[in-house]
């Protein structure tokens, strides 16, 4: 990540590229000297720059380079505006091969907007280069960023920057895990990542095949049968030094590769199925930052991880599996495997007697059909908990939309031979059916289900949201950290 520092009431000679901001319909810049602003505005106005949101331009004056960012109208300025502007800066800096920038940080921006801008810079600068060999001349983008502020703003600016760095470090860890090849990021690798996090205030319980058999984790074990890789139920536990305000479980689906099992996916649909562990990656990303942030909340991180493969021992349509809580599940489609492993993860999380559960899963293609690739579907048995989650997702620019858990739809997953079946009728309320299935495993615990199937992965860059780069997005890490810090 870029090195970011704050300079209070001091001159900074390097770097020689400065960042300026402009509002739409207000000629000039509000963080530049009048003489500089007049000269630069003339240059970029001729190129069509007017200060509209999303615009970025480069100008030169007196031996210095300026990257100018448009913010739209002043009355419509939000944290999300600044987050996108920060990412636009990152892209423009890479385009013109700038690695060091400085900014006269305006008093106008609130602390949360400073946080958002830095998030944009860090997220927009992300590149996944693990498998690339031709990097010698590739532009690196922003590596050093200096914020020049008045002395009285130094503390709050530093605080906002540090917070953004922590949030993004967790999100970028998740991105790296998601983007790794499925033969490189296996269930064992997720378990090893959890082991590295288990120190100090964070403890780990790791359950593999023999322990899972004793626990009766039939959903996870059933899905795992066709894989040569062992399954794991990962339980990370953070407990603050003092008395916790509340306890929360965050649960992640960890299918490191989903072939569909015997209900085999078409070849094209498998190409991105390394991302089916995005929920698990988010849990690990969150836990990577808890020892630094030290929220006054007890946090349980639960991950059920396996591959879903069509091996000779693979589970079959017609099989009946039993979850940790004793409920039986008739399998009619082995490609609806996420809910089967989450049945065990949620049952286990509920056994921890927590005050609330939030699960994240790339669960249904139906959610992508309903809400597209930029919005998460949310379902809940507790409106208060969902309101808390939404407050944090709004703050972090990660959009969610509630879908109703229509009780009458439960008839569609009634089984003639088991407690329930793992799919409903084709083409009918698929996302809600998935949520209703999961609800059977949380008992009376307040619970929010986040179907992140759409926004967990980007097939290409989104021009209007430049902090979303190709591949895994690290979705929900920042929102959950915000939730825990503000509980």
* CATH of residue 389: 3.40.630.10
Band of residue 31 on the pLDDT scale cut at 50, 70, 90: confident
pLDDT band at 14 (very low <50, low <70, confident <90, very high): low
Predicted pLDDT at 2 = 87
Residues 10 and 67 in one domain: yes
Structure tokens at 44: 């970029």
- Residues with a known catalytic role: 265, 339
Task: Inform me whether the pLDDT recorded for 365 exceeds 70.
Answer: yes
Same domain, 271 and 135: no
The tokens for 279 are 């929920």
* Whether 7 contacts 151, CB under 8 Å: no
- Domain C-terminal end among 133, 168, 203: 168
pLDDT > 90 fraction of the chain, expressed in percent and rounded: 86
What would the pLDDT profile of 315-348 be if each residue is shown by its tens digit? 999 999 999 999 999 999 999 999 999 999 999 9
Give the per-residue pLDDT at 11. Answer: 61
Structural domain contains residue 473: no
Across the chain, what does the average pLDDT equal?
Answer: 95
Determine the average pLDDT of the residues in 78-98.
Answer: 95
pLDDT-derived band at 440 (thresholds 50, 70, 90) equals very high
Q: Which domain holds residue 87?
A: 3-168
Rounded to an integer, what distance in angstroms lies between the CA atom of residue 285 and that of residue 174? 5
Measured distance CA(335)–CA(183) in Å, rounded: 20
Specify whether 46 is located in the same domain as 186: no
pTM of the model: 0.97
Asked if the model's pLDDT at residue 362 lies above 80, the reply is yes
> pLDDT tens digit string along 207-246?
999 999 999 999 999 999 999 999 999 999 999 999 999 9
Using a 10 angstrom Cβ sphere, with 0-12 exposed, 13-18 middle and 19 or more buried, the burial of residue 313 is exposed
Q: What is the pLDDT of residue 224?
A: 98
For position 13, what pLDDT does the model report? Answer: 58
Q: What are phi and psi of 3, to 5 degrees?
A: -85, 120
Which two three-digit tokens encode residue 315? 């589970």
152 versus 138: which is more confidently predicted?
Answer: 152
- Burial (Cβ within 10 Å: 0-12, 13-18, ≥19) of residue 135: exposed
Number of independent structural domains in the chain: 2
Same domain, 164 and 187: no
Strand partners, 8: 149
Residues 46 and 140 in one domain: yes
CA–CA separation, 452 vs 431, rounded Å?
Answer: 11
pLDDT band for 438, please (50, 70, 90 cuts): very high
pLDDT, tens digit (0-9, with 9 covering 90-100), for 257-298: 999 999 999 999 999 999 999 999 999 999 999 999 999 999
The full length of the chain comes to 487
How far is the C-alpha of 83 from the C-alpha of 340, rounded, in Å? 37
Residues 154 and 190 in one domain: no
Does 487 reside within a domain? Answer: no
Structure confidence by residue, pLDDT tens digits, 448-470: 999 999 999 999 888 899 999 99
What's the confidence (pLDDT) of residue 61?
86
Q: Which of 101-110, 137-146, 307-316 has the lowest mean pLDDT?
A: 137-146
> Per the domain annotation, does 483 fall within a domain?
no
């Amino acid at each position: 990540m870029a090195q970011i520092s704050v300079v209070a009431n001091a001159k900074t000679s390097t770097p020689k590229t400065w960042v300026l901001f402009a509002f739409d319909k207000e000629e000039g810049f509000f963080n530049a000297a009048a003489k500089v602003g007049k000269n630069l505005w003339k240059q970029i106005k001729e190129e069509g720059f007017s200060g509209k949101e999303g615009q970025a331009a480069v100008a030169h004056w007196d031996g210095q380079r300026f990257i100018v960012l448009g913010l739209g109208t002043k009355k419509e300025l939000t944290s999300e505006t600044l987050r996108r502007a920060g990412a636009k800066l990152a892209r423009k800096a890479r385009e013109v091969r700038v690695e060091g920038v400085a900014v006269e940080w305006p008093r106008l921006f609130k602390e949360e907007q400073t946080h958002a801008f830095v998030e944009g810079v860090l997220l927009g600068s992300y590149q996944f280069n693990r498998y690339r060999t031709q990097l010698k001349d590739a532009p690196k983008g922003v590596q050093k960023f200096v914020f020049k502020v008045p002395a009285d703003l130094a503390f709050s600016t530093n605080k906002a920057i540090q917070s953004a760095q922590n949030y993004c470090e967790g999100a970028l860890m998740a991105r790296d895990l998601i983007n790794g090849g499925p033969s490189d990021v296996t269930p064992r690798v997720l378990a090893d990542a959890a082991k590295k996090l288990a120190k100090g205030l964070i403890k780990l319980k790791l359950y593999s095949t023999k322990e899972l058999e004793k626990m009766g984790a039939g959903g996870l074990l059933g899905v795992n049968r066709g894989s040569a890789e062992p399954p794991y139920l990962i339980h990370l536990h953070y407990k603050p030094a003092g008395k916790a305000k509340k306890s929360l479980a965050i649960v992640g689906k960890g299918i490191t590769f989903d072939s569909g099992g015997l209900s085999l996916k078409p070849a094209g649909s498998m190409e991105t199925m390394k991302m089916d562990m995005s929920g698990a990656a988010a849990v690990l990303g969150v836990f990577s930052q808890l020892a630094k942030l030290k929220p006054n909340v007890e946090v349980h991180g639960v991950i059920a991880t396996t591959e879903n493969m069509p091996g000779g021992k693979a589970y079959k349509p017609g099989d009946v599996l039993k979850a940790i809580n004793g409920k039986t599940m008739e399998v009619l489609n082995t490609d609806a495997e996420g809910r089967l492993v989450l049945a065990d993860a949620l049952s286990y999380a509920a056994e921890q007697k927590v005050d609330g559960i939030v699960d994240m899963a790339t669960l249904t293609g139906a959610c992508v059909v309903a809400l597209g690739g930029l919005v998460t579907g949310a379902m809940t048995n507790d409106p208060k908990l969902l309101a808390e989650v939404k407050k944090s997702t709004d703050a972090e620019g990660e959009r969610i939309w509630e879908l109703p858990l229509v009780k009458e739809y439960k008839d569609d997953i009634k089984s003639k031979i088991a407690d329930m079946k793992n799919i409903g009728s084709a083409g009918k309320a698929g996302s809600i059916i998935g949520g209703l299935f999961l609800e059977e495993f949380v008992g009376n615990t307040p619970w929010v289900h986040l179907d992140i199937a759409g926004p967990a992965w980007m097939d290409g860059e989104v021009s209007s949201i430049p902090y979303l780069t190709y591949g895994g997005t690290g979705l929900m890490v920042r929102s959950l950290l915000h939730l825990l810090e503000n509980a």
